[in-house]
Amino acid sequence: MRKTFTPFRISGALIKLSVSLHFLIIAMNTPVIAQEGSPPIPPPIVEEELQLKDIFFDFTKNNIRSDAESVLRENAETLKKNHNTTVLIEGYSDTRGVETYNMRLGQTRADATKAYLVKLGIDPKRIKTVAKGATIKFSSESTEEAFQLNRRSHLILEPALTPKSPESLSATTDEPRRSTPQALLTSEDLSKALEDELKKLAPKQIIFNPSREMKAGLSQRVGVRISKTLIEDLYTSLKKKRMPQIDKINLVEPMKIDLTGNNFYITPLSQEEQTTAQQEFTDWGWDVIPLKTGIQSLLLSATVRIDSPDFGTESKNYPLYVKAVKVKFNPAYSTINFIKSYWLWIVGIIIVSGMVRWAVKR
């Protein structure tokens, strides 16, 4: 039987079709909510923090080595891809040599690094240099490997400072000023400030002048003298920095002074911890015996106790001076040391040579 389509049937079909389309549109615009037990939505991909690589130098040199050239080319590409950044170049040397020379050497190394980056197409306005001089920041040992690690240009990538637009400045001035809460003083901030002020006061209040030349195997007295006002002046300098909650901080006696060196045998001749405020000067002393010839280093460090209601009592150790000492060859010491090290071989050679002579005579 043939079906006939009346106007009523056609209008009913159109109504059903429009209703279906309506619900389909609602379903497409409804956000999808993850149901319990469904796989988690993957986190967004975060780019790794950009960093520049350091370059290294030969002893007393500031020329760019071949291995450093490839590193600087890679750093230049990073800077070219990130136009909104600048670079700070810190020039370092190892601990051998006098302080003034090491500062000049650190500056020439930083300047040579900058010149090479400019040669590779980096705008010189994006590059800052600073001399840091002698350091044990990257390795505190007194070996050739440690010296090599400290002879470097350290490159730090920094965001460029963009000036505010006039519109943003005017909008800022129109807003009422709000009092910002005072930042809390952290243990790391206090330790860094204390180290900076201690190094500023050290040249005037700490006398440490070990001999520049020693002989291997021979004992020598090394001493340090500290003024009675060091702790008081150190606390006064901290208060002048106007750090938050600095009034709650106390620097507690006694102070500890250490002398170390990898190729030295060091015997303390005084108490390591002493109170400095009881007399005009307080002396520390050590008996020092060099064990190896060549340029060696002595490190003087101080331990200061900090008392705070927030952090409790903490002891912080700070390196103060690194002194280079030229240890000369001592024939007597070297001979005795050689015999002590190889006495079994020496005895064996004597016995074998004696047996050979005895066999020949027979």
From CA 324, how far away is CA 118, in angstroms rounded? 35
Q: What is the pLDDT, as a whole number, of residue 244? A: 66
Q: How confident is the prediction along the chain (362 residues), in pLDDT tens digits per residue?
A: 455 545 545 555 555 555 555 555 555 555 544 444 445 545 444 344 578 999 999 988 999 998 899 999 999 999 999 988 999 999 999 988 878 888 889 999 999 999 999 999 999 999 999 999 898 888 888 888 889 999 999 999 888 655 544 544 444 444 444 444 445 567 777 788 888 888 888 888 899 988 989 999 999 999 999 998 888 888 888 888 777 667 777 888 888 999 998 889 999 999 989 988 888 899 999 999 999 899 888 889 899 888 877 767 888 888 888 888 999 998 888 787 777 777 788 888 888 888 888 888 77
Q: What is the pLDDT, as a whole number, of residue 259? A: 93
Could you tell me which residues come within 8 angstroms of residue 327 by beta carbon, excluding any fewer than 6 positions away?
Answer: 213, 214, 215, 216, 263, 290, 292, 293, 294, 295, 296
For residue 104, with 0-12 CB atoms within 10 Å meaning exposed, 13-18 middle and 19 or more buried, which class applies? Answer: middle
- DSSP one-letter string for 272-329: SEE-STTSSEEEEEEEEEE-S-EEEEEEEEEEEEEEETTTEEEEEEEEEEEEEEEEEP
On whether the CB atoms of residues 134 and 199 are closer than 8 A, the answer is: no
Q: What is the pLDDT, as a whole number, of residue 24? A: 53
The domain defined by 55-161 folds into 60s Ribosomal Protein L30; Chain: A; (3.30.1330)
For the entire predicted model, the pTM comes to 0.48
Residues forming beta bridges with residue 299, ordered by sequence position: 260, 322
Give the start-to-end residue ranges of the domains of the chain: 55-161, 189-330
Q: What is the CATH number of domain 189-330?
A: 2.60.40.10
In CATH terms, are 55-161 and 189-330 the same topology?
Answer: no
Q: What is the pLDDT, as a whole number, of residue 279? A: 85
Residues forming beta bridges with residue 314, ordered by sequence position: 306
From CA 225, how far away is CA 205, in angstroms rounded? 8
Q: What is the pLDDT, as a whole number, of residue 250? A: 82
